Structure 1
Amino acid sequence: MKGKTSIVMLTYNELHLTKKCIDSIKQHTRSEQYELIIVDNASTDGTKEYVRELNDVIFIENEENRGFAKGCNQGAKKATGDSILFLNNDTIVTENWLSPLREALFASERIGMVGPVSNYVSGPQMVESTYTDVKELPAFAKNYTAAKKGQRTYVHRLVGFCLLVKKELIEKVGLFDERFVYGSFEDDDLCLRSLLNGYQLQIVHDSFVHHHGHATFRANQDTNITTLFTENRLRFLDKWGIDLNLMTPHPYFADLLPEDVACVLDAGCGVGATGLELMNRQSVDMYGVEADPLKAAIAKAYYKEVIEAKADEYPWLEKEAFFDAVIFSDVLEHVSDPWHMIEQAHASLKPGGVIICCLPNMMHAEVLLPLMTGDFTYQDVGILDRGHLRFFTPNTMHALFPDHLFERVIEQRINVPIDQNVQLFFDEIARVGTSLGLQTKALTDQVTLYQLLIVVRKKGGSPSG
Structure 2
Amino acid sequence: MIKYLPESPKTIIDIGCGNGAFAVVLQEQTGAEVWGIEYMDKEAMVAKEKLHKVFSGRCEDYIDDLPDGYFDVIYFNDVLEHLVDPYEVLKKIQSKLSKNGRIISSIPNVRYHNTFMRLLVNKDWKYEDFGVMDRTHLRFFTKKSILRMYLDLGYSVITHEGINRSKSIKPYLYNIPLLFSQLDIRYPQYATVAQFDKK
Instruction: Say yes or no: TM over 0.5.
Output: yes
Determine if the alignment matches structure 1 residue 375 to structure 2 residue 124. Answer: yes
d(CA) in 2 for partners of 1:357, 1:407: 14
- Kindly provide the CA deviation profile for residues 365-408 of structure 1, in whole angstroms up to 9, marking residues without a partner as x: 11111101211110001100011000001110001212673222
Determine if the alignment matches structure 1 residue 272 to structure 2 residue 20. Answer: yes
- Secondary structure (helix, strand or coil) at the match of 2:151 reads coil
Question: Which among 445, 453, 458 is matched to residue 191 of structure 2?
Answer: 453
- Secondary structure (helix, strand or coil) at the match of 1:265 reads strand
Report the Cα offset of residue 288 of structure 1.
0.8
Contact 1:365 1:418 in 2 (8 A): no
- Kindly provide the CA deviation profile for residues 270-323 of structure 1, in whole angstroms up to 9, marking residues without a partner as x: 111111111111221111110112211111112111111022322335432221
Determine if the alignment matches structure 1 residue 344 to structure 2 residue 92. Answer: yes
Q: Which residue of 1 aligns with 2:55?
A: 307
d(CA) in 1 for partners of 2:63, 2:156: 25
Q: Which residue of 2 aligns with 1:255?
A: 3
Report the Cα offset of residue 456 of structure 1.
1.0
Q: Which residue of 2 aligns with 1:385?
A: 134
Determine if the alignment matches structure 1 residue 405 to structure 2 residue 187. Answer: no
Question: Which among 139, 157, 167 is matched to residue 417 of structure 1?
Answer: 167
d(CA) in 2 for partners of 1:351, 1:274: 24
d(CA) in 2 for partners of 1:313, 1:260: 29
Determine if the alignment matches structure 1 residue 366 to structure 2 residue 105. Answer: no
Q: Structure 2 unaligned segments of length 5 or more: list them.
A: none
d(CA) in 2 for partners of 1:353, 1:453: 16
Contact 1:317 1:348 in 2 (8 A): no
Point out which structure has higher relative CO (alpha carbons under 8 A, 6+ apart).
Answer: 2
The one-letter code of the counterpart of 2:167 is P
- Secondary structure (helix, strand or coil) at the match of 1:278 reads helix
d(CA) in 1 for partners of 2:181, 2:34: 38
- Secondary structure (helix, strand or coil) at the match of 1:303 reads coil
Q: Which residue of 2 aligns with 1:238?
A: none
Report the Cα offset of residue 337 of structure 1.
0.6
Cα distance change on mapping 1:277 and 1:371 into 2, 3 Å:
same
- Kindly provide the CA deviation profile for residues 391-429 of structure 1, in whole angstroms up to 9, marking residues without a partner as x: 001110001212673222223321113344x6323431x
Number of matched pairs: 197
The one-letter code of the counterpart of 1:402 is L
Question: Which among 287, 310, 314 is matched to residue 35 of structure 2?
Answer: 287
The one-letter code of the counterpart of 1:345 is I
Q: Structure 1 unaligned segments of length 5 or more: list them.
A: 1-251, 432-440
- Secondary structure (helix, strand or coil) at the match of 1:382 reads coil
d(CA) in 1 for partners of 2:95, 2:71: 9
Report the Cα offset of residue 328 of structure 1.
0.2
Contact 1:261 1:325 in 2 (8 A): yes
Question: Which among 394, 400, 403 is matched to residue 143 of structure 2?
Answer: 394
d(CA) in 1 for partners of 2:69, 2:59: 18
d(CA) in 2 for partners of 1:339, 1:404: 8
